Structure 1
Protein backbone atom coordinates (compact mmCIF):
# COMPACT_ATOMS: atom_id res chain seq x y z
CA UNK A 1 0.00 0.00 0.00
CA UNK A 2 1.31 3.42 -0.92
CA UNK A 3 0.38 6.53 1.05
CA UNK A 4 -0.16 9.98 -0.41
CA UNK A 5 2.55 12.42 0.63
CA UNK A 6 1.82 16.09 1.05
CA UNK A 7 5.28 17.53 1.64
CA UNK A 8 8.45 18.07 -0.38
CA UNK A 9 9.73 14.88 1.23
CA UNK A 10 7.69 12.90 -1.31
CA UNK A 11 10.61 12.97 -3.73
CA UNK A 12 13.12 11.87 -1.09
CA UNK A 13 14.89 8.57 -1.62
CA UNK A 14 14.95 7.91 2.11
CA UNK A 15 11.96 6.17 3.68
CA UNK A 16 12.68 7.90 6.97
CA UNK A 17 12.51 11.33 5.33
CA UNK A 18 9.28 10.47 3.52
CA UNK A 19 7.73 9.16 6.73
CA UNK A 20 8.83 12.17 8.77
CA UNK A 21 7.17 14.32 6.09
CA UNK A 22 3.87 12.84 7.26
CA UNK A 23 4.25 12.15 10.98
CA UNK A 24 7.39 13.98 12.08
CA UNK A 25 5.82 16.84 13.98
CA UNK A 26 5.32 16.78 17.77
CA UNK A 27 1.56 17.34 17.71
CA UNK A 28 1.14 14.66 15.05
CA UNK A 29 2.78 12.05 17.26
CA UNK A 30 0.56 13.05 20.17
CA UNK A 31 -2.56 12.91 17.99
CA UNK A 32 -1.48 9.44 16.87
CA UNK A 33 -0.94 8.40 20.49
CA UNK A 34 -4.49 9.42 21.33
CA UNK A 35 -5.97 7.75 18.23
CA UNK A 36 -3.91 4.55 18.19
CA UNK A 37 -3.41 3.87 21.89
CA UNK A 38 -6.24 5.67 23.69
CA UNK A 39 -8.93 5.19 21.04
CA UNK A 40 -9.79 8.88 20.63
CA UNK A 41 -11.75 9.63 17.43
CA UNK A 42 -13.61 12.93 17.99
CA UNK A 43 -12.13 16.37 17.38
CA UNK A 44 -13.27 17.73 20.75
CA UNK A 45 -11.78 14.72 22.54
CA UNK A 46 -8.40 15.30 20.82
CA UNK A 47 -8.59 18.95 21.93
CA UNK A 48 -9.40 17.99 25.51
CA UNK A 49 -6.77 15.25 25.77
CA UNK A 50 -3.97 17.31 24.24
CA UNK A 51 -4.78 20.94 25.03
CA UNK A 52 -4.04 21.67 21.37
CA UNK A 53 -5.25 24.77 19.51
CA UNK A 54 -8.11 23.96 17.10
CA UNK A 55 -6.30 25.37 14.05
CA UNK A 56 -3.24 23.19 14.71
CA UNK A 57 -5.40 20.12 15.33
CA UNK A 58 -7.33 20.77 12.12
CA UNK A 59 -4.12 21.04 10.09
CA UNK A 60 -2.52 17.92 11.60
CA UNK A 61 -5.67 15.82 11.17
CA UNK A 62 -5.94 16.99 7.55
CA UNK A 63 -2.36 15.86 6.87
CA UNK A 64 -3.02 12.46 8.45
CA UNK A 65 -6.23 12.02 6.42
CA UNK A 66 -4.68 13.20 3.14
CA UNK A 67 -1.72 10.89 3.73
CA UNK A 68 -3.94 7.87 4.34
CA UNK A 69 -3.06 7.40 8.02
CA UNK A 70 -6.52 8.33 9.32
CA UNK A 71 -9.90 8.31 7.61
CA UNK A 72 -12.92 10.45 8.36
CA UNK A 73 -16.34 9.04 9.27
CA UNK A 74 -19.42 11.19 9.66
CA UNK A 75 -21.43 10.93 12.87
CA UNK A 76 -24.21 12.94 14.48
CA UNK A 77 -24.97 13.25 18.16
CA UNK A 78 -28.62 13.80 18.98
CA UNK A 79 -29.58 17.43 18.47
CA UNK A 80 -26.25 18.37 16.86
CA UNK A 81 -25.07 18.92 13.33
CA UNK A 82 -23.11 16.19 11.53
CA UNK A 83 -19.45 16.02 12.52
CA UNK A 84 -16.44 14.00 11.48
CA UNK A 85 -14.58 11.42 13.53
CA UNK A 86 -11.08 10.18 12.71
CA UNK A 87 -10.19 6.50 12.56
CA UNK A 88 -6.89 4.76 11.82
CA UNK A 89 -6.45 3.03 8.48
CA UNK A 90 -4.28 -0.09 8.23
CA UNK A 91 -1.31 2.21 7.57
CA UNK A 92 -2.22 4.15 10.69
CA UNK A 93 -2.54 1.03 12.84
CA UNK A 94 0.93 -0.05 11.73
CA UNK A 95 2.29 3.17 13.27
CA UNK A 96 1.59 1.57 16.68
CA UNK A 97 4.96 -0.12 16.23
CA UNK A 98 6.63 3.28 15.78
CA UNK A 99 4.87 4.69 18.84
CA UNK A 100 5.84 1.61 20.85
CA UNK A 101 9.48 2.03 19.80
CA UNK A 102 9.45 5.70 20.83
CA UNK A 103 7.77 4.83 24.11
CA UNK A 104 10.27 2.04 24.81
CA UNK A 105 13.21 4.33 24.05
CA UNK A 106 11.78 7.00 26.35
CA UNK A 107 11.20 4.49 29.14
CA UNK A 108 14.78 3.20 28.77
CA UNK A 109 16.65 6.49 28.39
CA UNK A 110 14.48 9.35 29.70
CA UNK A 111 12.11 7.67 32.16
CA UNK A 112 9.81 9.69 34.37
CA UNK A 113 10.73 9.64 38.07
CA UNK A 114 7.60 7.63 38.92
CA UNK A 115 8.36 4.96 36.31
CA UNK A 116 6.75 4.08 32.97
CA UNK A 117 3.19 5.25 32.51
CA UNK A 118 2.30 2.33 30.21
CA UNK A 119 3.68 -1.08 29.45
CA UNK A 120 3.23 -3.17 26.32
CA UNK A 121 1.90 -6.68 26.70
CA UNK A 122 0.31 -9.41 24.61
CA UNK A 123 -3.45 -9.75 24.58
CA UNK A 124 -4.70 -12.75 26.49
CA UNK A 125 -1.42 -13.87 28.06
CA UNK A 126 -0.40 -10.40 29.31
CA UNK A 127 3.26 -11.13 28.68
CA UNK A 128 5.51 -8.07 28.33
CA UNK A 129 6.75 -7.27 24.83
CA UNK A 130 9.58 -5.10 23.54
CA UNK A 131 10.03 -3.60 20.13
CA UNK A 132 13.00 -4.98 18.24
CA UNK A 133 14.23 -6.52 15.06
CA UNK A 134 12.87 -9.94 14.24
CA UNK A 135 14.83 -12.49 12.29
CA UNK A 136 12.17 -15.18 12.31
CA UNK A 137 8.78 -13.84 11.15
CA UNK A 138 7.06 -16.86 12.71
CA UNK A 139 7.70 -15.21 16.09
CA UNK A 140 6.42 -11.78 15.02
CA UNK A 141 3.41 -10.36 16.86
CA UNK A 142 0.91 -8.29 14.87
CA UNK A 143 0.26 -4.69 15.85
CA UNK A 144 -3.27 -5.61 16.94
CA UNK A 145 -1.98 -8.42 19.15
CA UNK A 146 -0.29 -6.05 21.61
CA UNK A 147 -2.03 -3.89 24.19
CA UNK A 148 -0.71 -0.69 25.74
CA UNK A 149 -1.66 -1.01 29.40
CA UNK A 150 -1.72 1.99 31.71
CA UNK A 151 0.19 1.64 34.95
CA UNK A 152 -0.46 3.39 38.24
CA UNK A 153 1.98 6.09 37.13
CA UNK A 154 -0.28 7.13 34.23
CA UNK A 155 -1.54 10.66 34.93
CA UNK A 156 -5.26 11.05 35.50
CA UNK A 157 -6.82 14.26 34.24
CA UNK A 158 -9.32 15.80 36.58
CA UNK A 159 -12.64 16.88 35.15
CA UNK A 160 -12.69 20.66 35.42
Structure 2
Protein backbone atom coordinates (compact mmCIF):
# COMPACT_ATOMS: atom_id res chain seq x y z
CA UNK A 1 0.00 0.00 0.00
CA UNK A 2 1.46 3.35 -1.05
CA UNK A 3 1.44 6.17 1.47
CA UNK A 4 0.57 9.70 0.54
CA UNK A 5 3.35 11.51 -1.25
CA UNK A 6 5.65 13.76 0.76
CA UNK A 7 6.81 15.45 -2.43
CA UNK A 8 5.27 18.84 -1.59
CA UNK A 9 6.74 19.03 1.90
CA UNK A 10 9.74 21.26 2.52
CA UNK A 11 11.40 18.84 4.94
CA UNK A 12 14.59 16.85 4.34
CA UNK A 13 13.29 13.90 6.39
CA UNK A 14 10.00 13.71 4.47
CA UNK A 15 11.70 14.06 1.10
CA UNK A 16 14.29 11.42 2.03
CA UNK A 17 11.51 9.07 3.09
CA UNK A 18 9.97 9.66 -0.33
CA UNK A 19 13.08 7.99 -1.82
CA UNK A 20 14.12 5.42 0.79
CA UNK A 21 11.22 5.15 3.23
CA UNK A 22 9.81 1.89 1.93
CA UNK A 23 11.08 -0.69 4.43
CA UNK A 24 12.81 -2.96 1.89
CA UNK A 25 14.80 -0.03 0.49
CA UNK A 26 16.98 0.59 3.54
CA UNK A 27 17.46 -3.16 3.99
CA UNK A 28 18.72 -3.40 0.39
CA UNK A 29 21.04 -0.44 1.06
CA UNK A 30 22.20 -2.17 4.26
CA UNK A 31 22.97 -5.35 2.34
CA UNK A 32 24.79 -3.37 -0.37
CA UNK A 33 26.89 -1.74 2.37
CA UNK A 34 27.67 -5.30 3.54
CA UNK A 35 28.98 -6.11 0.05
CA UNK A 36 26.02 -7.84 -1.57
CA UNK A 37 25.63 -6.90 -5.24
CA UNK A 38 23.64 -9.59 -7.01
CA UNK A 39 19.90 -10.12 -7.27
CA UNK A 40 20.05 -13.64 -5.84
CA UNK A 41 22.18 -12.45 -2.89
CA UNK A 42 19.66 -9.75 -1.99
CA UNK A 43 16.77 -12.18 -2.40
CA UNK A 44 18.41 -14.85 -0.21
CA UNK A 45 19.43 -12.36 2.47
CA UNK A 46 16.05 -10.64 2.68
CA UNK A 47 13.57 -13.38 1.77
CA UNK A 48 11.84 -10.85 -0.50
CA UNK A 49 9.74 -11.90 -3.49
CA UNK A 50 11.41 -11.48 -6.90
CA UNK A 51 8.77 -8.98 -8.06
CA UNK A 52 9.18 -6.81 -4.96
CA UNK A 53 12.96 -6.95 -5.20
CA UNK A 54 12.91 -6.02 -8.88
CA UNK A 55 10.65 -3.05 -8.11
CA UNK A 56 12.82 -1.87 -5.21
CA UNK A 57 16.08 -2.22 -7.15
CA UNK A 58 14.58 -0.31 -10.08
CA UNK A 59 13.44 2.51 -7.75
CA UNK A 60 16.81 2.66 -5.96
CA UNK A 61 18.59 2.89 -9.31
CA UNK A 62 16.18 5.61 -10.49
CA UNK A 63 16.88 7.53 -7.26
CA UNK A 64 20.61 7.35 -7.98
CA UNK A 65 21.37 5.24 -4.89
CA UNK A 66 22.36 2.10 -6.79
CA UNK A 67 23.90 1.62 -10.21
CA UNK A 68 23.02 -1.41 -12.32
CA UNK A 69 26.01 -2.97 -14.08
CA UNK A 70 25.93 -5.95 -16.45
CA UNK A 71 28.37 -8.68 -15.40
CA UNK A 72 27.17 -11.48 -17.71
CA UNK A 73 25.60 -11.41 -21.17
CA UNK A 74 24.30 -15.00 -21.54
CA UNK A 75 22.01 -15.16 -19.77
CA UNK A 76 21.94 -11.42 -19.02
CA UNK A 77 22.74 -10.76 -15.37
CA UNK A 78 23.28 -7.48 -13.57
CA UNK A 79 24.84 -6.47 -10.30
CA UNK A 80 23.80 -3.50 -8.21
CA UNK A 81 26.49 -1.25 -6.79
CA UNK A 82 26.15 1.62 -4.38
CA UNK A 83 26.71 5.05 -5.87
CA UNK A 84 28.37 7.81 -3.86
CA UNK A 85 24.84 9.00 -3.04
CA UNK A 86 23.94 5.52 -1.79
CA UNK A 87 27.15 5.23 0.27
CA UNK A 88 26.22 8.52 1.93
CA UNK A 89 23.33 6.62 3.58
CA UNK A 90 25.80 4.58 5.68
CA UNK A 91 25.56 6.91 8.73
CA UNK A 92 21.76 6.68 8.58
CA UNK A 93 21.82 2.88 8.39
CA UNK A 94 24.42 2.66 11.17
CA UNK A 95 22.41 5.03 13.38
CA UNK A 96 19.29 2.88 12.93
CA UNK A 97 21.30 -0.26 13.67
CA UNK A 98 22.86 1.27 16.81
CA UNK A 99 19.44 2.41 18.06
CA UNK A 100 17.98 -1.03 17.33
CA UNK A 101 20.80 -2.83 19.16
CA UNK A 102 20.28 -0.57 22.17
CA UNK A 103 16.48 -0.47 22.34
CA UNK A 104 15.10 -3.40 20.35
CA UNK A 105 17.43 -6.39 20.04
CA UNK A 106 19.42 -5.81 23.24
CA UNK A 107 22.83 -5.95 21.52
CA UNK A 108 21.90 -8.86 19.26
CA UNK A 109 22.56 -8.82 15.54
CA UNK A 110 24.52 -10.74 12.96
CA UNK A 111 26.76 -8.01 11.53
CA UNK A 112 28.86 -5.44 13.34
CA UNK A 113 30.84 -2.43 12.17
CA UNK A 114 34.48 -2.70 13.29
CA UNK A 115 37.34 -0.23 13.24
CA UNK A 116 39.64 -1.54 10.48
CA UNK A 117 42.80 -0.44 12.32
CA UNK A 118 41.99 -1.73 15.83
CA UNK A 119 39.31 -4.37 15.27
CA UNK A 120 37.23 -2.73 18.00
CA UNK A 121 33.47 -2.57 17.54
CA UNK A 122 32.32 0.87 16.46
CA UNK A 123 29.76 2.76 18.53
CA UNK A 124 28.36 5.25 16.01
CA UNK A 125 27.18 8.65 17.17
CA UNK A 126 26.07 11.71 15.25
CA UNK A 127 28.87 14.28 15.36
CA UNK A 128 28.80 17.90 14.27
CA UNK A 129 31.28 18.14 11.40
CA UNK A 130 32.24 21.72 12.37
CA UNK A 131 33.02 21.17 16.06
CA UNK A 132 33.50 17.42 16.36
CA UNK A 133 31.03 17.38 19.28
CA UNK A 134 28.41 14.65 19.62
CA UNK A 135 24.97 15.97 18.69
CA UNK A 136 22.43 15.66 21.51
CA UNK A 137 19.40 17.55 22.78
CA UNK A 138 21.29 19.09 25.71
CA UNK A 139 24.03 20.82 23.70
CA UNK A 140 22.19 21.53 20.44
CA UNK A 141 18.79 23.05 19.70
CA UNK A 142 16.34 23.16 16.84
CA UNK A 143 15.31 26.51 15.40
CA UNK A 144 12.57 27.30 12.90
CA UNK A 145 13.62 28.74 9.57
CA UNK A 146 11.31 31.24 7.83
CA UNK A 147 9.99 28.45 5.57
CA UNK A 148 9.04 26.18 8.50
CA UNK A 149 5.44 25.17 8.99
CA UNK A 150 3.56 27.76 11.10
CA UNK A 151 3.03 25.31 13.96
CA UNK A 152 6.80 24.83 14.19
CA UNK A 153 7.48 28.56 13.92
CA UNK A 154 5.16 29.04 16.91
CA UNK A 155 6.81 26.24 18.94
CA UNK A 156 10.50 26.66 18.08
CA UNK A 157 12.77 29.66 18.44
CA UNK A 158 13.64 31.37 15.16
CA UNK A 159 17.04 31.62 13.58
Normalising by the residue count of structure 2, what TM-score does the alignment of the two structures yield? 0.72
Shift of the 15–136 alpha-carbon distance from structure 1 to 2, 3 Å rule, reads: closer
Whether 2:85 is the aligned partner of 1:91: answer: yes
Whether 2:20 is the aligned partner of 1:23: answer: yes
Kindly state the Cα deviation for residue 136 of structure 1 after the two structures are TM-superposed.
5.2
- Give the 3-state SS of the residue equivalent to 2:90 in structure 1: helix
Equivalence map 1:77-88=2 (5 Å): 80-88=74-82
- Give the 3-state SS of the residue equivalent to 1:129 in structure 2: coil
In structure 1, stretches of 5+ residues that fail to align are 1-6, 141-160
In the other structure, the counterpart of 2:128 is: 135
Equivalence map 1:107-146=2 (5 Å): 107-112=101-106, 115-135=108-128, 137=130
Deviations 1:91-129 (A, max 9, x none): 1111111110010001110125x7343332221222333
Q: Which has the higher contact order (CA 8 A, sep 6+)?
A: 1
Count matched residues: 130
- Give the 3-state SS of the residue equivalent to 2:52 in structure 1: helix
- Give the 3-state SS of the residue equivalent to 1:61 in structure 2: helix
Structure with greater Cα Rg: 2
Higher relative strand content = 1
Of 8, 11, 27, the residue aligned with 2:8 is 11
Normalising by the residue count of structure 1, what TM-score does the alignment of the two structures yield? 0.71
Whether 2:58 is the aligned partner of 1:62: answer: yes
Kindly state the Cα deviation for residue 139 of structure 1 after the two structures are TM-superposed.
5.6
Kindly state the Cα deviation for residue 49 of structure 1 after the two structures are TM-superposed.
1.4
Within 2, Cα distance between the matches of 1:60 and 1:136?
32
Whether 2:102 is the aligned partner of 1:105: answer: no
Within 1, Cα distance between the matches of 2:109 and 2:31?
17
In structure 2, stretches of 5+ residues that fail to align are 134-159
